[in-house]
Amino acid sequence: MKQNVYFISGIDTDAGKSYATGFLAREWNNAGKRTITQKLIQTGNVGHSEDIDSIVASWVCR
């Protein structure tokens, strides 16, 4: 089985990495592609990550 892996990176906070990740995941899901996202590292976070909320919200909102 062929699998594609995409790595999204940026050089600053608020560069749009989480938004881009959510957007791409939603588009690929809508196209019938099996899609997962992972945020392996986050700096400066204490407690709950709002980035995760924005990624999940972008999957279901159109």
For the annotated catalytic residues, the residue numbers are 39
d(CA 49, CA 29): 23
Q: For residue 42, what are the contacts with CB-CB under 8 A and spacing of at least 6?
A: 49, 51
Tell how far CA 20 is from the center of its chain.
6
